[in-house]
Amino acid sequence: MKVIAIIPTSFDYLVSSIIEGLYKNNVEVIASEKGNNVKRAYSNEEIIRHSKDADYILVFNGKIIVNPLPKIFLLDKINRPEVTAFIDGNEWTFSGYPEKNQVKESLKNPKRRRGKKWINEKMLNYCRWYFKRECYPEDSKLGIIPLLFVAEDRYFGNYNLKKKFDVFCSFGQKNTGLRKNVEEVCRKLKLEGYNIIIKSSIPYKQYKKLISSSYISIDAWGGGDCNARFWEIIANKSCCFSQKYNILFPNTFIDGYSYVEYSTIEEFEEKLRYYLKNKKKCLEIAERGYEHLLEYHTSKQRVKYLLDILEKGINLREFYLYKKYNIGKKVYLSLICNSFIRNPKNIYIYLIRIIKNIKSKTRKKALNKF
C-alpha cells in the first residue's frame, strides 16, 4: 500500500504517531515534509507524480497555533477527493486558536471547549473522510470519525521500577480542565504525609521514570480532552487518574478496572484517598491498563483502525453529503460504484443494508440507519 502524507512542517503528536504507525504496517509513505517520524520527504513534483497511483491521500492538520499550514494547495493538483482523508488534530476551534474568553468560559462550561467554528468546512466538503482527534458525539452525525492520540514507541520507558512514590503530578500549563484544582489537592495530601511528587519541566527520560516509580499518576484536560500524558502514564504502568472525556473514545478504558476517571474535584479527592489506601488495586489497574493499551492503542493498532475504515468503502460521510447538499443520483451512484470497485465485498454489505432498511417509511430514516 502507498499513501501520500501531506503534513505540517513542525512536530505534532497526532501526526508523529500516525506516521510511525504507517511504517509499522508496512505502508509506503510519500511525505511532504521532514520530521514527525518521516523517513524521507519528497518534493511537490514527486508527490504529485506518486499521487496518481497512491491508495490514499492523507492530509494532516496539527495544532495550527504552533504549526504552519501543511501544503493543502497540492490537493488541487492531485485532484483525488475520492481517496482523500483529512486528519484534524486541532483543539478549541478548527484553526486551533481559542475564541475570545473561550478558555476561561470552558472552566465553568465544558461545552465551550468545542468552539463555534469547530469544523474545517472546506476539508469536510472536499475529502471523503474526515477524522478528528477531539471528536464529539454531535460531530459523528456529520460523518466525522474519532482518531485520538496514541502511545508511540518513545512513550514506553520499559523500566518496571519499584514503586516508591504515592502520586506523581506533572502539568505544564494549568489553565484548562481541573489541572489547577488537582494540583491543589495533591499539595494538601502531601502535607498530610503522602509521598507525592509535584513537578514540571522534567527531562523526558526522568519524567517516564517518575511515572514508572509511582502508584498513581495524574492526567487532566489540556487544550483538548485527549493529551499525550494519558498515554505516557499507562505506557509506563502507573495507575492513571484521568478527567473524564466528553469526546468519543473507541476501545475505551474502563473506570476502576484499567484506569480511574473523575468528573469533579470532589470525586478526584475521594477516589485518590481511596486508592492510596488500596495500593494493590493501583498495581492491578496499571497492569490491566497497560495490556489494554498494547491491544488497541499503540501507533500500529491506531493505523490499523484508520486503514480498516478507509478500506470499508462506503461511509457515513457520503450519506451526509447526499442529504445536506443533494448531490444528485449520478454522483451518488458513482461514489457507490467506486466503492464496489475498490472492495467487491462492499456489494454484499450494501445489499444487506438495503434489505435492512426496505421497511423504512422515509428516505431520511433509511439514511440515518446507515
Task: Write the secondary structure of the chain as one string of H (helix), E (strand) and C (coil).
Answer: CEEEEECCCCCCHHHHHHHHHHHHCCCEEEECCCCCCCCCECCHHHHHHHHCCCCEEEEEECCCCCCCCCCCCHHHHHCCHHHEEEEECCCECCCCCCCCCHHHHHCCCHHHHECCCCCCHHHHHHCCEEEECCCCHHHHCCCCEECCCCECHHHCCCCCCCCCEEEEECCCCCCCCCHHHHHHHHHHHHHCCCCEEECCCCCHHHHHHHHHCEEEEEECCCCCCCCHHHHHHHHCCCEEEEECCCCCCCCCCCECCCEEEECCHHHHHHHHHHHHCCHHHHHHHHHHHHHHHHHHCEHHHHHHHHHHHHHCCCCHHHHHHHHHHCCCHHHHHHHHHHHHHHCCHHHHHHHHHHHHHCCCCCHHHHHHHC
Give the mean pLDDT of the chain: 88
Which of 19-28, 89-98, 278-287, 335-344 comes out lowest in average pLDDT? Answer: 335-344
Given 3.30.70, 1.10.287, 3.40.50, 1.10.3470, which CATH number is that of 2-147? 3.40.50
- Quick: pLDDT tens for 71-113: 999 999 999 999 999 999 999 998 888 999 999 999 999 999 9
Task: Round to whole Å and give the CA distance between 317 and 245.
Answer: 24
Q: Give me the pLDDT at residue 69, please.
A: 72
Taking residues 204-220, what's their average pLDDT? 97
CATH number of 153-298: 3.40.50.2000
**Predicted pLDDT of residue 367:** 42
pLDDT tens track for 266-317: 999 999 999 999 999 999 999 999 999 999 999 999 999 999 999 886 555 5
Domain boundaries, the chain: 2-147, 153-298, 312-369
* Under 8 Å between Cβ of 123 and 89: no
pTM: 0.84
